[in-house]
């Protein structure tokens, strides 16, 4: 299977963004994203216990460092179901790595460094366990799985663009916030699903003051309190998203493809937060934005997303749930 097909198999939303990048960056980011999804597969798969996941994530890190053959990983996950697109990518990591080896050495170094660090961070969290105690712990987890992705993208954008290279040191901390924003939204969206598999990424400091415990979080009588907790998470996400918006405004307007690749996940997240507030579906299953909203955001930003003034105004409209 071609890398583009693998990408669309694991995430149509991120495929949409990545495919807007300039051709060389598109190839780099596609490969990097697939390598990150191998790490995700090892972290998320419900067929393995936490110590096994930690061991495999560290094995994957050694594969990335060329100290172990990729076949050693494939042999450990042979029982996983390849019909799962993420498992398919993990079982065909040799193909993804083969693509990586065709890139210039600086690009290989950037990608392998960040995927390696993410994998080791995920392994550490598998050993810590399924509960997050404080907001600082939550941020640490989100940094491992998403903040480092922001760093990697900024490194790749800086390699491509001299202007971004000049602004890189200012953009790096913003990119971390951007990653934390998207991951906070993922935590809100996946709250029920994560809970069913034994994980709760919401800090105890968010729900215990409301009189909730992990065991009573999804009791029907606690729905109003859970929605209050979700509002607190949404406030946190919006705090990080504003840094993400600032990040995008630092990308030159003539790099419209790079801007759009960043704008779309940002605005999809903003809109998801808007429909998540006071929405019992977040508690029962998952809150989503509609396909028509996605299509309209894509159309509008493709036409006018080069303008920072327009982008800020559009962001605020989505944030306040005005008609788009």
Could you give the CA distance from residue 118 to residue 226 in angstroms, rounded to a whole number?
A: 30
Asked if 211 contacts 307 with a C-beta cutoff of 8 angstroms, the reply is no
Same domain, 73 and 220: no
> Are residues 299 and 203 part of one domain?
yes
95 plus 147 within the same structural domain: no
Same domain for 104 and 223? no
Phi, psi angles (nearest 5°) of residue 206: -90, -30
Please identify, among 85, 103, 128, the residue that sits at the C-terminal boundary of a domain.
128
Residues in contact with 169: Cβ distance below 8 Å, sequence separation at least 6, in sequence order = none
Q: Which of 109, 128, 147 is the last residue of a domain?
A: 128
Phi/psi zone of residue 215: left (φ > 0), alpha (ψ -120 to 50 degrees), beta? alpha
pLDDT, one tens digit for every residue, the chain (324 residues): 788 889 999 888 889 999 999 999 999 999 999 999 999 999 988 888 999 999 999 999 999 999 999 999 999 998 998 889 999 999 999 999 999 999 999 999 999 999 999 999 999 999 987 788 999 999 999 999 999 999 999 999 999 999 999 999 999 999 999 999 999 999 998 888 888 878 889 999 999 999 999 888 888 888 889 889 999 999 999 999 999 999 999 999 999 999 999 999 999 999 999 888 877 666 666 667 888 999 999 999 999 999 999 999 999 998 876 555
Domain hosting residue 148, numbered range: 130-324
Same domain for 58 and 29, yes or no, is yes
Do 169 and 284 lie in a common domain? yes
Report the alpha-carbon distance of residue 183 to residue 36 in Å, rounded: 14
Average pLDDT, the chain: 92
For 225-255, letters b (16+ CB in 10 Å) and e give bbbbbbebbbebbbebbbbbbbbbeebeeeb
Q: Based on the domain organization, do 71 and 157 belong to the same domain?
A: no
Domain count, the chain: 2
User: Does 101 share its domain with 140?
Assistant: no
Taking each continuous run of H as one helix and of E as one strand, the counts in the chain are 18, 0
The residue out of 128, 159, 188 marking a domain boundary is: 128
Q: How far apart are CA 124 and CA 112, in angstroms?
A: 18
Say which residue the tokens 């709760």 belong to. 200
Contact 28, 156 (CB under 8 A): yes
Which residues have C-beta within 8 Å of that of residue 42, sequence separation ≥ 6?
A: 48, 53, 56, 57, 60, 77, 90, 119, 122
Residues composing the chain: 324
Q: Are residues 72 and 14 in the same domain?
A: yes
- Enter the tokens of residue 54: 């930690």
**Phi, psi angles (nearest 5°) of residue 132:** -110, 130
Identify whether residues 111 and 175 lie together within a single domain.
no
- The two tokens of residue 76 are 């450990």
Which residues lie below 8 Å from residue 243, measured CB to CB, with a gap of 6+? 173, 174, 177, 178, 181
Residue with tokens 């009588």: 221
Angle at 322 between CA 319 and CA 324, to 5 degrees: 95
* Lookup: tokens for 184: 């906070």
The answer to whether residues 247 and 302 belong to one domain is yes
pLDDT in tens, 153-203: 999 999 999 999 999 999 999 999 999 999 999 999 888 888 887 888 999
pLDDT of residue 44: 86
Distance CA 189, CA 179 (A): 15
CB 156 within 8 A of CB 114: no
Q: Is the same domain home to 155 and 178? A: yes
Here the CATH number for the domain that contains residue 39 is 1.10.600.10
Q: How far apart are CA 221 and CA 237, in angstroms?
A: 26
């Amino acid at each position: 299977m071609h890398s583009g097909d693998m990408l669309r198999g694991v995430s149509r939303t991120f495929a949409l963004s990545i495919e807007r990048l300039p051709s060389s960056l598109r190839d780099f980011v596609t490969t990097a994203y697939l390598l990150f999804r191998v790490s995700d597969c090892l972290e998320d798969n419900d067929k393995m216990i936490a110590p096994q996941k930690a061991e495999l994530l560290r094995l994957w890190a050694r594969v990335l460092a060329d100290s172990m053959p990729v076949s050693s990983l494939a042999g450990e996950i042979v029982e996983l179901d390849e019909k799962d697109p993420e498992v398919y990518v993990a079982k065909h990591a040799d193909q993804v790595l083969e693509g990586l080896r065709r890139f210039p050495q600086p690009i290989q170094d950037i990608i392998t460094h960040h995927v390696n660090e993410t994998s080791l961070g995920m392994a550490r969290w598998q050993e810590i366990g399924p509960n997050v105690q404080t907001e600082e712990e939550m941020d640490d987890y989100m940094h491992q799985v998403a903040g480092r992705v922001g760093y990697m993208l900024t490194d790749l954008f800086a390699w491509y663009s001299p202007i971004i290279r000049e602004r890189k040191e200012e953009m790096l901390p913003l990119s971390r916030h951007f990653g934390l924003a998207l991951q906070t939204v993922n935590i809100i969206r996946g709250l029920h699903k994560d809970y069913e598999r034994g994980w709760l990424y919401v800090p105890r400091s968010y729900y215990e003051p409301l009189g909730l415990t992990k065991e009573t979080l999804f009791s029907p009588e606690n729905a109003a309190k859970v929605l209050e907790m979700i509002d607190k998470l949404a406030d946190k996400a919006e705090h990080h998203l504003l840094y993400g918006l600032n990040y995008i405004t630092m990308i030159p307007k003539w790099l419209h493809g790079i801007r759009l690749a960043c704008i779309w996940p940002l605005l999809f997240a903003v809109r998801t937060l808007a429909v998540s507030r006071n929405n019992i579906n977040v508690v029962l299953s998952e809150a989503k934005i509609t396909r028509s909203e996605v299509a309209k955001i894509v159309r509008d930003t493709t036409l006018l997303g080069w303008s920072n003034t327009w982008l800020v105004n559009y962001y605020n409209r989505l944030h306040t749930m005005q008609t788009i």
